[in-house]
Chains A and B, each alone.
Chain A
């Protein structure tokens, strides 16, 4: 802590910060552009100038850049000093020389940091009469609009795209007053994190192209705090709607999870999580008859009525199948309805065993489940088996920062403040690591790896076990194993906060065990080693915590009626098995918001709410329970799955729940309840104070303004009225503050973490002793591992139009040697028999694949194939 004097007042601040950061943390207004809370200072824009004084007798002082000056004890500065103010006004004037002043047609207008700073500095009259320079705008793909004329040369975009996210297809061109930020030529931005430019750029150069299709100003949007539903990491988001249409997703800072950034799947994968109002037929989000003909013939009756007719006929044995992409509450509701003994977890049998192993490791072993923030701060990382960028995208961005930790430590010791990004990068140059990546195929993090190794999952497990043994002799030895990556064990042992990253994507039990052994060996050596396991879906961890029978057992169960919760069983098991099951059960009821093969086989499909249409809790890979809140006002017949189930309970003469809090109370886990405050007390408005058209927007229906829809499930209101400034982080719908209309207003809000960790480590940690045999290739058969794709693998985002444009066609990856043996080349096709069906795949050559291993894109139909598995391939 340091004491600094600002405009004659004394404050306590964190002395490790720079003055700009310190001032903003005190909620003082000081304009800036180039500084970014996650990327530090470079002193490029000169906007944050303040007057600094030597001591209390110094009245002259001198101008300094606040972002480049440490908040050292005893520092005296003035923000209000007339000279500092004049300097800042002149800075904005020159930054604005070439700016087109096109706010009315700019998508950033109303949430623009440049507008805010211009107003804040008082630059109101344009004096420059010379022509402005203009630029060509590029087509950067389906995610971002490019409008270069608006640029003020703060360099944040390149710093994010290249320095922070490691992208190499974006840069700054030219010099002097002709500086251009973009690509060498038009084309899709390759980085999986490109969408962050929308928030990083303080002007309207980079704006959200998906939003542009259904554009609404920030002040006219209705917002809710949400949790990304598109992978297991649970990044915190703000989602926005207007007029019943979901419009956009933005980042919501949770320092322990996503910090300031999201991945592009999370940001742009939202467009199908809503009713498609233009063409409701296409979406078919109403109870419907299926191929097999529904129980109720009355096609015109409302969903609720048909449902009650149906539930009145509930008889015989009822079973329920849960879902890793449905909320805790909905899973719990189903479990309550059918009873614990008849509730089956909706994970594939393989995933169920992998995730329960992970749970066991995290709960009983000594290594903690790492948060993304922990990963970012790790000073050595060992990735076992995961193609992180494609299985848990945001984690890759954290790992990219972790490789700087060792060097940062050295640089910090040398006296360079770590927020001084320019100096730090200069001192660091290309130094990075240690990061060891052992995976079956190349990953997008290989460029910053200390060493990479490609092998079949069993061999990766052997590597992990051997490393564990080298770290701690108590861990089982792997006989006959030649260590491929030198000095790996040493590097991990030399670290203070090493992390082992592993997950379910290789489908390998020994691999997960090996990861645990490495972390535990390090723990025994006194290192604060953590484990970071990725899981496939937004509530995989929650589903595993809730438990339930194996899906395989459900298929064997004697059931008259099955209720399937937000789950496509064809993605969890072989088609023949699922067909057999669904064909055998008399009544198949599916609650879902996606159209799947399973819904097409159902007798009754009940339209469940998406994450944007309901509130609930998901548990991320770290075991953190986090609440997401409804943003789209409810519209019949769509309801949260747990509400449908509650009605079933009531119809069966049992007690249901009227609100989310009642479900949470019934669940009885105080920690899950504590993930966000209950629906009590002063309401927090979902709409900004400037929301317009409230009294007119439904005038075509009725001239009387309808009361705001009730929301029994949260402390939020579908209204502008209420009280927001004190909203705790889990309940902050959007970042907006007087004078700070852009997302940079985040610093005005409480910056604590949110969510509650449900899993903490135990004491046990007896090493896993089973060592798998070396992988032995087979003749004419390949061990086919799943290849994950950030755009396309995840079910809920896969159909979003922007994501579709970035998805690749599924392929089967083969070593070039294997392909030529089969007589195929890139673009050719191979086929194989699985589950009595013939599959055809297009071939892609991947020279790095280990001998005997192939990779198959995991999307659509290949999900039920049961990867990884042996496949006999033939030329098609």
Chain B
């Protein structure tokens, strides 16, 4: 069941669009903000609210890789693996993260604190390699920097 707050936040978003359907990405973001991810049940509730079928909403939800259809850790790290960052050594960062967290791309650390996901260019190519922890962008990242970020972020 959606909470009253979620419901009213979605309805507010709804106002900004010509049709209910068009507001569905925002609606999913509302729910994800409060719950961290979109469960099947949440998906159904949002679909009902927006008069969409489950299929229609899930088609949208699964299209966007920042809408999470599986539970994620408390914090989500997006590690860029696109061209500039690949040239500048993102593979090394990936290995480092794997060693520190025991989590590969697409996985969550055993303690449930971090989920690491790949991202295709964070728009920070001039400071490659780059990563994002939740809303914060980090550039020129080194393995040491990764340790510091993990420390701060935990």
Q: List residues of chain A with CB under 8 Å of any chain B CB.
A: 168-175, 180, 183-185, 430
A-B contacts, 14 of them at CB < 8 A, read A168-B55, A169-B53, A170-B55, A171-B53, A171-B55, A171-B56, A171-B58, A173-B62, A175-B63, A175-B64, A175-B65, A184-B53, A184-B58, A430-B19
B9 within 8 A of A: no
Enumerate chain A residues within 8 angstroms of B56, measured Cβ to Cβ.
168, 171
Q: Indicate if the CB atoms of B59 and A168 lie closer than 8 Å.
A: no
Q: Report the nearest B residue to A430, measured CB to CB.
A: B19
B54 within 8 A of A: yes
Q: Indicate if the CB atoms of B19 and A184 lie closer than 8 Å.
A: no
Q: Indicate if the CB atoms of A185 and B54 lie closer than 8 Å.
A: yes
* B interface majority secondary structure: helix
**A112-B49 Cα distance, complex, nearest whole Å:** 42
Q: Report the nearest A residue to B43, measured CB to CB.
A: A184
Q: Which of B55, B62, B65 has the most CB of A within 10 A?
A: B55
Enumerate chain B residues within 8 angstroms of A430, measured Cβ to Cβ.
19
Enumerate chain B residues within 8 angstroms of A184, measured Cβ to Cβ.
53-55, 58
Q: Indicate if the CB atoms of B53 and A168 lie closer than 8 Å.
A: yes
Q: Indicate if the CB atoms of B65 and A169 lie closer than 8 Å.
A: no
**A169-B55 Cα distance, complex, nearest whole Å:** 6
B94 CB to nearest A CB, Å:
18
A697 CB to nearest B CB, Å:
45
**A168-B58 Cα distance, complex, nearest whole Å:** 12
B57 CB to nearest A CB, Å:
8
**A163-B53 Cα distance, complex, nearest whole Å:** 15
Known: A169-B54, A171-B56, A180-B62. 18 other contacts (CB 8 A): A168-B55, A168-B56, A169-B53, A169-B55, A170-B55, A171-B53, A171-B58, A173-B58, A173-B59, A173-B62, A173-B63, A174-B62, A174-B63, A175-B64, A183-B55, A184-B54, A184-B55, A184-B58
B31 CB to nearest A CB, Å:
17
A-B pairs, top 10 by smallest CB distance, nearest first, are: A171-B59, A184-B54, A171-B55, A184-B55, A173-B62, A168-B53, A184-B58, A174-B62, A175-B63, A169-B55
Enumerate chain B residues within 8 angstroms of A172, measured Cβ to Cβ.
59
Enumerate chain B residues within 8 angstroms of A174, measured Cβ to Cβ.
62-63
Enumerate chain B residues within 8 angstroms of A171, measured Cβ to Cβ.
53, 55-56, 58-59
A152 CB to nearest B CB, Å:
19
Q: Indicate if the CB atoms of A175 and B62 lie closer than 8 Å.
A: yes
A149 CB to nearest B CB, Å:
18
Enumerate chain A residues within 8 angstroms of B63, measured Cβ to Cβ.
173-175
Q: Which of A174, A180, A185, A430 has the most CB of B within 10 A?
A: A174
B106 CB to nearest A CB, Å:
12
Enumerate chain A residues within 8 angstroms of B58, measured Cβ to Cβ.
171, 173, 184
Enumerate chain A residues within 8 angstroms of B64, measured Cβ to Cβ.
175
Q: Report the nearest B residue to A173, measured CB to CB.
A: B62
Q: Report the nearest B residue to A185, measured CB to CB.
A: B54
Enumerate chain A residues within 8 angstroms of B59, measured Cβ to Cβ.
171-173
**A554-B63 Cα distance, complex, nearest whole Å:** 65
**A169-B56 Cα distance, complex, nearest whole Å:** 8
A847 CB to nearest B CB, Å:
18
**A173-B58 Cα distance, complex, nearest whole Å:** 7
**A185-B55 Cα distance, complex, nearest whole Å:** 8
**B 29-56 binary contact with A (CB < 8 Å = 1; else 0):** 0000000000000000000000001111
B19 CB to nearest A CB, Å:
7
Enumerate chain B residues within 8 angstroms of A168, measured Cβ to Cβ.
53, 55-56
Enumerate chain B residues within 8 angstroms of A183, measured Cβ to Cβ.
55
B53 CB to nearest A CB, Å:
4
Enumerate chain B residues within 8 angstroms of A180, measured Cβ to Cβ.
62
Q: Report the nearest B residue to A170, measured CB to CB.
A: B55
Enumerate chain B residues within 8 angstroms of A175, measured Cβ to Cβ.
62-65
Enumerate chain A residues within 8 angstroms of B65, measured Cβ to Cβ.
175
Q: Report the nearest B residue to A175, measured CB to CB.
A: B63
Enumerate chain B residues within 8 angstroms of A185, measured Cβ to Cβ.
54
Q: Report the nearest B residue to A183, measured CB to CB.
A: B55
**A280-B22 Cα distance, complex, nearest whole Å:** 58
Q: Report the nearest A residue to B54, measured CB to CB.
A: A184
Enumerate chain A residues within 8 angstroms of B19, measured Cβ to Cβ.
430
B81 CB to nearest A CB, Å:
13
**A168-B64 Cα distance, complex, nearest whole Å:** 20
Enumerate chain B residues within 8 angstroms of A170, measured Cβ to Cβ.
55
Enumerate chain B residues within 8 angstroms of A169, measured Cβ to Cβ.
53-55
A17 CB to nearest B CB, Å:
31
**A169-B52 Cα distance, complex, nearest whole Å:** 10
Q: Report the nearest B residue to A190, measured CB to CB.
A: B53
A163 CB to nearest B CB, Å:
13
Q: Report the nearest B residue to A172, measured CB to CB.
A: B59
Q: Which of B19, B56, B64, B65 has the most CB of A within 10 A?
A: B56
**A30-B63 Cα distance, complex, nearest whole Å:** 32
Q: Report the nearest A residue to B58, measured CB to CB.
A: A184
B41 CB to nearest A CB, Å:
12
A573 CB to nearest B CB, Å:
44
B69 CB to nearest A CB, Å:
10
